[in-house]
Structure 1
Amino acid sequence: MGDRRSSRGIRRLLAGRGAIWVAFALVHAGLVALNLFAPGLPLGDVTGVYRIWAENAAHGYARMGIDLPWVYPILAFAPMAASLAFGGEWFGETWLALVTVLNGLTLSVLLGQATLSRHRRIAAWWWLGFLALLGPIALGRIDAVTVPFAMLGLLWAAGRPRAAAVLLTIGAWIKVWPAALVAALVVALRRRAEVVMIALALSLGILAVSLVAGAGGNAIGFIGEQAGRGLQVEAPLAVLWLWAIVAGAPGVRVAYDREILTYQVSGPGVDVAAWLTTPLLAVGVASVLAVGIRAARRGAPLGRLLPPLALAFVVVLLLGNKVGSPQFVAWLAAPVVLGLVLRPARFAVPALLAAGAALLTHVIYPYWYGWLLVADPAFVLLLTGKVVLLALLLAWALRRLWQAGNRVALPAHELASRPG
């Protein structure tokens, strides 16, 4: 009897907002500590690259994306500049504080002001677990700034489509991937014309300000910068060449590109594969778009359409990407959280698959990243397992999208499914 009461008491404690906020503080404190003190320099890009870009601009030397071509869209500079608020010596700590604040605001919206529902509680606990599994990379890259914009945009999609369009467009001008979520909104929402107009107007405004600042062609230079990259070692397609190294194939190796500061695979066929990623990615996006449009035209309700559509778009970007950096896995949080808020039982499988991908990413990076760079068989196997999990995620999302487009009688509560 005492054990039952104790169990019920624990469940009540974990069901409250207080427990979730305590967990939020603990998870983020742990991630901050790992970023600052763990081996493998998990915060290296922030303190060794972002800080230099920000300081160069502050001293009038060069503004990335304006005076020089840049790999990121122009708004990516905003959080980097903000992280100089307390000086270059505190750049890393300020960056981590900024991302923590953004995540805190997102959690506040996710939990809402009304009585905390079971669905939102599940989504919140999953997100915190996902961040912990993903490790320091969950905070230590520019992608960490975009995830809150993406998550809020999806959560507000039904009730506040204009705000959602603004948030996702801003996210896309920080790091391109949220543009796929704008496309998901255009397909899934009835007020799609508003989403398109807001996204276009805001994008034109950002471009205009960039041109006034003197950017010229550099305002969209990130498109060419990405297109010219080789096949990065973590890219899903690079697994084939990593296994070739394991097998002892001649002429295949991992090399460091000093121009874009990444490790890439090189060897026979790599350049062709790197070039093919762009058309393959286009085909993948078009395929998801076609299945999503089919479901929308057949009257699929938002609750059944938007979560798997957003997830499919994100996973296609992950699988077809020739960069494949470990932090990209953080993108999965936005569509999975939306799915758990709307349909937690149906989204249990992708939640588990995404968590598994986060864990494998954390094992590989940053602590033992060097083993992947020398194509150690165990770590190549881990990367292969991650790619398999992503492929399973895509298969699940496409299957759900197709089912959403089937002409079947839907229960009334599904027709009314909307995020709050």
Structure 2
Amino acid sequence: MRLLAVWAATRLLLLLCLLQVLAFPEPYVNTDVEVIYRGWYEVLSGGAYPADDVTWQYPPAAALAILSPGLLPFLGYPEAFYVLAAVCDAAVLLMLLFGRRRYGHGPAGAWVWVVGLPLLGPTSYARYDVMVTAVAVAALLLMARRPRVGGALAAVGAWVKVWPALLLVGTARGRATRLAWGAAALTAAGLGAGFALFAPGSLGFLTHQRERGVEVESLGALVFHVARWFGWDGEARMNYGSIEFLGPYVGVVATASLLLTAAAFGWLLWWRLRARVWTPATYADAAFAAVLLFTVTSRVISPQYMLWLVGLAAVCAALRSAGQLPAVWLVVAATAVTVLEFPLFFSMVVESRPLGVALIAVRNGLLVAAAVVSCVALWRSTVVAPAAVPRPAGPLSRPVSGRSSDANTR
């Protein structure tokens, strides 16, 4: 009851702030929904994608999230969007509670979600990321027992916002991987073909980010925040829907970010080749580590990205993944700092003032630390000392030497 009471109280506060019943220091967190999303809704409702709008940088299934407020025609667009965001939030909590009751998952997962999401402030409901996070959590919670369903959901999530494709990285080698990856490939191919044939312009997102700069909240942006203090001849301005650094050497830092992302992918591949043990929590641990790696190496770290990490952290905590708990709490701490840099002191971030730069440095430092801790824990639990890994009853807990048991994968 205490968990549900905390959830209800914190979510009511979020909704009251978004509806401007209660004052929030920076009301412009609503802009995406009230201006950008509503504008896209009008275009999408006419049967076309906003292909000429460079701020549309999302896979075609994102249209479902943008159009979803139409399910509540008795509400205005923003109000309907916030209500549906709350419904998806509640769905994540119910999935975590069901896992606790049905499969003996730990209570910490639900608490991470209940506490972690509101730490981001009203931004939690003012972006569609809570919706795709609900799909990702469902995919992860189903991956071990129903790999086909989990894989299909991961593919659906990837067509909504790309990153859920990383949920597949931790599936156990053998039949589990064949089932999950096969279902994901078929689902992704089917959706992609459907969008290409019946939704002209839906694949325009693939080329809309070629000229992006370095977003002011990213890890690489710290270079330019400090360089500004020493006379760097560049600027921070709106570009592709976010405030980005543009100017000398931005291309170099952007390229370095891409190389780091490639290196992260290489490490994950090396981990899969070396891993010897899969426990019932490994697939979630690996997904958490993968999304952390690709977040910290990205040219863009928007505040709503924290929702992805909080959702995956909640699943790891629910599955009693002791090795990942330090990374889980680092992510929760980073979420609390994020609401300070956006929206509360965002103007100081844009202007590279000391407080703004300090907040970005602390938030990104926490994320880097979480990524390192998560990857080390994943490596130790599956590669370094498999004999020391706790082995719950069941075939998925045995050392697999490149093969996984077929049990529990039907």
Same fold? TM cut 0.5: yes
Secondary structure of the residue aligned to 2:217 is: coil
- Check conservation: 2:112, 2:310, Cα contact below 8 A: no
2:252 to 257, 272, 292: 272
Whether 1:122 and 2:108 are equivalent positions in the alignment is: yes
d(CA) in 2 for partners of 1:362 and 1:189? Answer: 42
Which residue does 2:149 correspond to in 1? 163
Identity of aligned residues (%): 25
| TM-score normalised according to structure 2 size | 0.88
Aligned residues: 392
The alignment status of 1:240 with 2:220, answered yes or no, reads no
- Residue 409 of structure 1 is matched in structure 2 by 387
- Amino acid in the other structure paired with 1:379: G
**Structure 2 CA distance for aligned equivalents of residues 89 and 334 of structure 1:** 28
Corresponding residue of 2:236: 254
The match for 1:281 is 261
Secondary structure in structure 2 of the residue aligned to 1:21 = helix
Shift of 1:162: 1.6
Distance 2:208 2:136 in 1: 23
Partner AA of 1:290 in structure 2: W
Deviation at 1:171, TM superposition (A): 0.9
Comparing 171-180 and 112-121, the one that deviates more: 112-121
8 Å CA contact 2:196–2:202 kept in 1: the answer is yes
User: Equivalent of 1:195, from 153, 156, 180?
Assistant: 180
Check conservation: 1:27, 1:131, Cα contact below 8 A: no
Deviations 1:319-340 (A, max 9, x none): 1111211111111123212221
Matched with 2:118 is 132
The answer for unaligned runs of 5 or more in structure 2 is 398-407
Residue 289 (structure 1) shift: 2.6
Mapping for residues 6-405 of structure 1, pairs under 5 Å: 18-37=1-20, 38=24, 39-59=26-46, 62-64=48-50, 70-86=56-72, 90-112=76-98, 115=101, 119-185=105-171, 190-215=175-200, 218-245=201-228, 247-257=229-239, 260-295=240-275, 298-303=276-281, 305-343=282-320, 345-403=322-380, 404-405=382-383
CA distance in 2, matches of 1:249, 1:68: 30
Separation in 1 of the partners of 2:309 and 2:256? 24
Deviations 1:347-377 (A, max 9, x none): 3311210111101111111132111111111
Assess if the C-alpha contact under 8 Å between 1:142 and 1:175 holds in 2. no
User: What TM-score, normalized to structure 1?
Assistant: 0.86
Contact 1:122 1:344 in 2 (8 A): no
Structure 1's unaligned 5+ residue stretches are 1-17
How far residue 80 of structure 1 moved from its aligned partner, in angstroms, is 1.0
Cα distance in 1 for partners of 2:101, 2:193 equals 44
Q: Which amino acid aligns with 2:96?
A: L
1:405 Cα shift? 0.9
8 Å CA contact 1:315–1:390 kept in 2: the answer is yes
In the TM superposition, residue 41 of structure 1 has moved relative to its aligned partner by: 1.3
Q: CA RMSD in A?
A: 2.6
